[in-house]
Amino acid sequence: MLKAIYPGTFDPVTMGHWDIIQRAEKLVDHLVVAVLHNPSKHPAFSVAERVDFLRELVSPYDNVEVTTFHGLLVDFARLQGTSSIIRGVRAFSDFEYEFQMAIMNRKLAPDLETIFLMPKEEYSVLSSKIVRDVGMMGGDITGFVPDVLKDRIARRLKNPESYA
Ligand code: PNS
């Protein structure tokens, strides 16, 4: 059985992330979407919110689970019993950062493989940061985040206290 981890900050999940999840889910038997729990990064959305959003999206898929991790990704991968990591690469500008991470992870755990997937071209300039910036200033985030989450994410970005 091929199990893979798709790790990230997902602050918040974007259409680009969702595109990668749907591609990865077809390639592996079991996909673990792993949200990094790192309070020192000062994310806009709590880890519970980020997990909730992702769980709502993946609920139709029996082979996708959402969880959190902290510490090193290689340790989490070992704990999960897999050596396959999925990462999305949007544009050439992502390459240096992704290359560094993949090589560092391989140094830490030589059996680890990073599998890079490309989202649709229309998401190549989309990022969580852009969603946060546009949303916080009251801009329309339609098409940037999955439709079913759009209102909640927009409301929450405009008013940081609004998440129930
Ligand atoms: O969505 P992001 O912020 O690009 O995801 C980055 C993430 C969470 C995959 C990366 O920061 C990570 O794996 N952090 C865990 C700490 C770690 O293992 N660091 C060593 C690899 S560089």
- In tens, the pLDDT along 29-88 reads 999 999 999 878 889 999 999 999 999 999 999 999 999 999 999 999 999 999 999 999
User: Cα of 86 to ligand 1 centre, how many Å?
Assistant: 12
Q: What is the mean pLDDT of the chain?
A: 95
Q: Considering the entire predicted model, what is its pTM?
A: 0.96
For atom 20 of ligand 1, the residue with the nearest CA is 72
Q: Which atom of ligand 1 is nearest to the CA of 11?
A: 1
Catalytic positions: 17, 41, 90, 128
- Please give the pLDDT value at position 118: 96
Order of strands across the sheet that contains 64-69: 64-69, 30-36, 3-8, 84-88, 113-117
Strand 3-8 versus strand 30-36 pairing type: parallel
> Which of 73-80's residues contact partners 24+ apart within 8 Å by CB, and which partners?
73/5, 73/7, 73/34, 73/105, 74/105, 74/108, 74/109, 74/112, 76/5, 76/7, 76/34, 77/5, 77/109, 77/112, 78/109, 80/3, 80/5, 80/32
Q: pLDDT at position 111, please? A: 97
Compute the average pLDDT of residues 132-146: 97
Q: What's the pLDDT band for 162 if we cut at 50, 70, 90?
A: low
Of 9, 104, 117, the residue with max ligand 1 atoms within 8 A of its CB, to mutate for a pocket test, comes to 9
Nearest atom in ligand 1 to the alpha carbon of residue 100 is 22
CA distances from 69 to 6, 34, 66, 145, 146 (A): 11, 6, 10, 23, 23
Q: Please, which residues bridge with residue 31 across strands?
A: 4, 64
Percent of the residues in the chain that have a pLDDT greater than 90, as a whole number: 91
The best mutation among 101, 112, 127, 132 to test binding of ligand 1, ranked by most ligand atoms within 8 Å of the C-beta, falls on: 101
Please check the confidence at residue 164 and state whether its pLDDT lies above 70: no
Q: Decide if pLDDT at 163 tops 70.
A: no
Q: Between 40 and 111, whose confidence is greater?
A: 111
